[in-house]
A and B are shown apart, each in its own frame.
Chain A
Amino acid sequence: MTRSDPAVRARVRVDVEAAARVVAPLWPLTSFIAVNPLEGLLEHGFEAATAQARRWLGARCHPDLAWLEAAHGAGRITDADLRASILARHPDLDDDGVTARLEALLHLPADASALPREPIRGDGPLDPDLTAMVDGVVASWCAAFTGSGAAGWPMPGRGEGLYRAWRQSAPHDPALARLAGRRLRRELRQLPEDPEDAIVETLAARGVAPASHRDEMRRQLCRLPGWAGYARWSEQWALPDDRTPRLGLVDLVAVRLVHEHLAAGAVAFPAAAAAPGLCTRPPDPATPDDRAALWLDAYERHYRDELLTQLASPAATAPQRRPAAQLVFCIDARSEGLRRHVEATGDYETFGFAGFFGVAIRFRALVDPHPRAQCPVLVAPQVTVEERPVPGHEQAARRHLGRARSALAAKAAVDAAKSGAGGAFALAEAAGWVTGPGAAARTFMPGRRVAPARRQDPRTAPAVGASTDGVGFTLEEQVLYAETALVTMGLTEGFAPLVVLCGHRGQTTNNPHASALDCGACGGNPGGPNARVAAAIFNRDEVRAGLHDRGITIPERTWFLAAEHDTTTDTVAILDKHTVPSEHADAVSALEADLATAGRRLAAERVEALPGGARRHAARHAAARARDWAEVQPEWGLARNAAFIVGPRSMTAGLDLACRTFLHSYDHRVDPDGTAIETILTAPMVVAQWINAQYYFSTVDPDVFGAGDKTLHNPVGGIGVLVGGGGDLRAGLPRQSVFDGDQPYHEPMRLLTVVQAPLERISAVIDRNDVLGHLFDGGWVTLAARDDPTAPWQLRQAGGTWEPWRHAERSVDHLEVPA
């Protein structure tokens, strides 16, 4: 068998990568990362990218018009919002023209209120049943290759990639034999050894012109966007030491293309006839695209006007005196509620910073055999930090380790038995009498269990007698990371006796998407380890001496304390309490009491919004939801997230922002060269935009961008979930994460970023970072900014100019509802 020209194979790699940009990378379930499903098309702008998603995936990319009309009826969108949006999108219209457009928007024919789905370009040459059969067979091979638990043993040849492994085993596949008929073995024998060559030869055999190759590859990937997304993660995002099985994009294209070729027989591929590519047209004003864009803009405008009005007059200013403690929380929108209640509970000052606290690490807990990457996926972990016993506590640590390993081994044995084809039945027979009462208790009395569920996972139990420090980082690196964190959040003086670094985690039972509730800045893991490592760095005398040399003096008595906020129960655990100097013991006790009070108040507020939730006994109710293995909505996560606010706490202090805003502390006075604001906009804001877009698209089209109904989920080998017994992996958020019954709970809006910093500095940062230009000028994010608290808000326009913000109610002359 001859191999093709290396240049051809190299071009195939490039073409497949370009073709795959229409599908989102899909992280394994163990470290679920919210991602903009269209991040590969970011540079095209929101409108063009969504046009591609409609075209290739058959997706809806705007909120349903009927739902938006209902929001208009409820006053969530006003006529003034719509008029302002029409004028912004069509500035040439005169007043009568705006009124005519408004009338047309409000009086749509009933059958025009739902956005139609475009025919999917990926439908291909086969009839729908045969196409679905091909999809099913290829998806089964992907599941077998990546080693789902149910497979029981690894697929032969797995180390050589999907295509070569499939080529070895395919002659024995009865499903493929049904597709291809008698010529199966002959055709398989003739297949080339390399996937690139298989693609080139099959495309030639099907008569696809070279100009259409990329579209044909894209069509193949769009038939299985979940597995394609997993392949994108494998090739472009997986860390070298990640132990999750990899799937290659080229392999996936080759395998599906050959399947379709075998099933199609003499039917020609359609790609040569129509090559839509990724170039797009602007939306026609008369199309549903334009109507949807106007409604969406008005919907966002209303929230923007309300928020900027709120921010124009904060209820209180930051305390001037030295607080009892300063608490640094993750920018996660759920932290806003806890910050608000903590500040109301005592003499506390709070800050917002990315929850990995600037330390990009692999962390290996004492009981964990493998380290986990604990940092945003935009960076690679720099060093490995291991948890280990503190001197004098080795004996206790050994006992803890022994117990933990026994429990882990037992869990691994049960998991292995459960995942075998027959093992599950045998396990139920053999061990059902032991586990039955516990299962019954969990089912009927989830709130009665005494110990929180997370303490039953020995890997996440507090490491008794163990400690962490910054070993692995050089001293210079520790000083640099500490300085970067402090300057970026604007905390460079006035340190309180206690500074708490508070990470966060979720707590759920029987939930494949549990990591979606953990900290995104920590790679979809609980944030406690990063808080512990960062606190240990800040408490080192050598680090403080280095910071002093750089102009930041932390008082000798100030102690940095690690903590972790459980967002499902709104409880806060103080970590490594045994390392706290005795002089701070009383203050820590008082702080714990106040955190408990703040948590109960937040739980009461939050639980009320959950389906079936009630304010009475809210804390107990929240804890019960966390432990209930049948609970599909333990918390709302980041649903309703809407804005990313960058500035000092004085901008937002005293305001109830309803857990809808990512709050990043920033003081432009300590950032004269703009390094800190550049860091904030290019990293935390990018992550916030991914989260925002994940929630947006999972809401506007849960069938295409969402993971489906939780009650039907079937986890595949720790990689992802299927809905039912087979088919494509499901990306995005489960339906219950964004819907309350049949109605969206999440309000799908594109991110609003609000910054208090000199406009000139912001513009300079945007100009030198392409990603920011794409986000702000491409319609993914709206940017509002002001130089200082006394200046009016300005909105950045595409192209880089600024225009004063005007409330919609004050920006149009005529507010009458058209007849």
Chain B
Amino acid sequence: MNRSGLTAMTRIEVVVAGEDVPVLSEVFTAAGATGYTSIANVSGVGHHGFHQGRLAFNARDALTMVITVVPDERADAVLAGVRALLADRPGVMFVSDTYVSRPEYFR
């Protein structure tokens, strides 16, 4: 893939219960992230078995994936906050390198 002209950043994906999305968004904001994308009603299999993602009338207990992209220098702050949250709340986090075409959106 041609990545010339793109800017390297860190992508952080977190899957949590819907009820934890508000505090996760606060963590992102406090740590300096400029925004995030959330995908509601995700399902999957984890070490506790199958997790139902889509519930007809209960978004709080369904699972949501929240994705943010930050400049590398802010990634540690976001990671610290998310790790503190996941210390006693259920969920998983994935961290990866990524590239963006409009870096000013993320600074």
Residues of A within 8 A of B (CB): 5-7, 9-15, 17-18, 196, 235-236, 354, 358, 360, 376, 378-380, 484, 488, 675, 678-679, 682-684, 686, 767-771
Contact = CB atoms under 8 A, between A and B. Distances in A.
B58 A686 contact: yes
A488 B56 CA distance: 11
| Interface residue SS majority, chain A | helix
Given A7-B77, A378-B60, A769-B61, A678 B52 contact: yes
A597 to B, nearest CB: 34
10 contacts: A6-B30, A6-B32, A6-B77, A10-B77, A11-B81, A358-B57, A360-B57, A682-B55, A768-B51, A769-B55
B31 A9 contact: yes
B84 interface: yes
Q: Which 6 A-B pairs have the closest CB atoms?
A: A10-B81, A683-B57, A6-B77, A7-B80, A7-B77, A10-B31
Contacts of A13: 23, 26-27, 30, 81
A10 B57 contact: no
Which residue of A6, A379, A678, A682 has the most chain B CB atoms within 10 A of its CB atom?
A6
Given A6-B32, A10-B27, A768-B50, 8 more contacts: A13-B30, A14-B84, A235-B23, A376-B58, A378-B58, A682-B57, A683-B56, A770-B61
A679 B88 CA distance: 27
B91 to A, nearest CB: 11
A675 B80 CA distance: 38
B19 A236 contact: yes
Interface residues of B, number: 30
Contacts of B72: none
Given A9-B30, A14-B23, A235-B26, A683 B81 contact: no
Contacts of B81: 7, 10-11, 13-14
A308 B85 CA distance: 43
Nearest to A6: B77
B100 to A, nearest CB: 20
B61 A771 contact: yes
A10 B59 contact: no
Contact of A10 (B50, B52, B60, B80): B80
B22 interface: yes
A425 B49 CA distance: 66
Contacts of A18: 88
B90 interface: yes
Nearest to B31: A10
B55 A683 contact: yes
Contacts of B78: 10
A14 B85 contact: yes
Nearest to A375: B57
A10 to B, nearest CB: 3
A5 B80 CA distance: 11
A6 B85 CA distance: 15
A670 B36 CA distance: 40
Given A14-B23, A14-B81, A196-B30, A7 B57 contact: no
B23 A6 contact: no
A6 B31 contact: yes
B27 A14 contact: yes
A682 B61 CA distance: 8
A3 to B, nearest CB: 11
A236 B85 CA distance: 15
A93 B59 CA distance: 44
Contacts of A9: 30-31
A14 B79 CA distance: 12
